[in-house]
Amino acid sequence: MKSGTSHIQSRLFKNQQGLLDAGVLVPGTRWVDQSRAVGDLLRIQRRGPGRARGDWQLVADAIAAHDGTAVVSMEFLGPSTAAEIAGICTSVPNVEAVITVRDLNRSLAAMWQETVQNGSTWDLREYLASAETTRAGSALPPQDLPKPGGTFWRQQGVVRMSRDWSASAPLTLITVPPPGAPRTILWERFCQVLDVPATGWVDASRSNESIGAASALLLRQVNEALAAGALTKPAKRFRKQILAKRVMSARKSDEPSIGLPVAGWVSEQSAQMVADLQQVDLTLIGDWEELRPVDVPGVDPQEVSPEDVISAAVAGLAGTVRRAGRDAAAE
């Protein structure tokens, strides 16, 4: 998660026909088809075929009918257990695994924000403290690690993921370029895995947009207010996909970003992570140096003024009203 996957996925589907002409199948008509298929696949591995919905079988049949490379990209595959991975690798032949990884400090800032967009009420300091205290278990299955640290290491325990996947399939690790690098580099590196030309592809506008510091604080307060009762799935989707990803992300340039200086423990953990990864049987595309943690420019959410949060609230309410009006007009 939070390592350029949305950019790669959007480009895969934007260039679906061109990739097919080059011998690479991207199953499904939209990325959500792959997301549903992977969810179905993981249910099969965890609960047995009786709980399957058939979404994965559609993808597996398309892959079986294609004479060449096929790409399935979904972040939920990463944290799979060794037993689940072994089962996944029997569901289709000749599986190869690809993991994209970003430096740890940028991942911490991005993952906190993502958890807030998904409904959590942890503040940033609480999140960081828990990630630090649970880092000793980052290379182990995180089921027994306390939250929120266990939540972070489940999705960012790259050493554990790499060890487990490399035990069942050839593994390629792609490092995410540092801030300021051309945004095309990650896609060009992924093209090396696909064995297709790095240039000549259509760019894609969709990305997993972040939100500013004031909007993140506001959304956390919204989550606290909503915590008293269970939310329906449509309500959860509205909170993330409409309120966060569309309304609040649209005003990102109007407020400071979330900042995070590199802490000493982050530097230590990053060095250990690279050392452990260098012992895994994998192919590296990129540079180990790109996993050295860098400061994330911006402000500490604790320093955001109440007035800025109120401004974010007004913008969020206005955007929600506009969205509701458009939806009503379309009915």
φ, ψ of residue 24 to 5 degrees: the values are -110, 120
Q: Specify the 3-state DSSP secondary structure of 125.
A: helix
- What is the reported pLDDT for 177? 97
How do strand 283-285 and strand 171-175 relate by DSSP bridges?
parallel
CA distances from 39 to 33, 43, 228, 315 (A): 10, 6, 28, 34
List, edge to edge, every strand of the sheet that includes 97-101. Answer: 97-101, 171-175, 283-285
- State the pTM of this model: 0.93
- Check residue 318 and report its DSSP letter: H
- What is the reported pLDDT for 144? 67
**Which tokens is 119 given?**
């409904």
CA distances from 274 to 68, 168, 251 (A): 33, 21, 36
* 99 DSSP β-pair partners: 173
CB 121 within 8 A of CB 223: yes
Rounded CA gap, 141 and 296, in Å? 28
> Which residue matches tokens 């934007």?
14
Which helix (DSSP H) or strand (DSSP E) does residue 175 occupy? strand 171-175
- What is the reported pLDDT for 191? 98
Q: Hey, what amino acid is at 208?
A: N
Tens of pLDDT, residues 268-282: 999 999 999 999 999
Tens of pLDDT, residues 171-214: 999 999 999 999 899 999 999 999 999 999 999 875 667 899 99
**Which tokens is 319 given?**
């955007």
**Which tokens is 151 given?**
């939540």
- What is the reported pLDDT for 227? 87
- What is the reported pLDDT for 325? 85
DSSP-H helix ranges across 182-305: 185-194, 213-226, 233-237, 264-277
CA 215 to chain centre: 20
CB 303 within 8 A of CB 214: no
**What parts of the chain have a pLDDT lower than 70?**
49-52, 140-144, 206-208
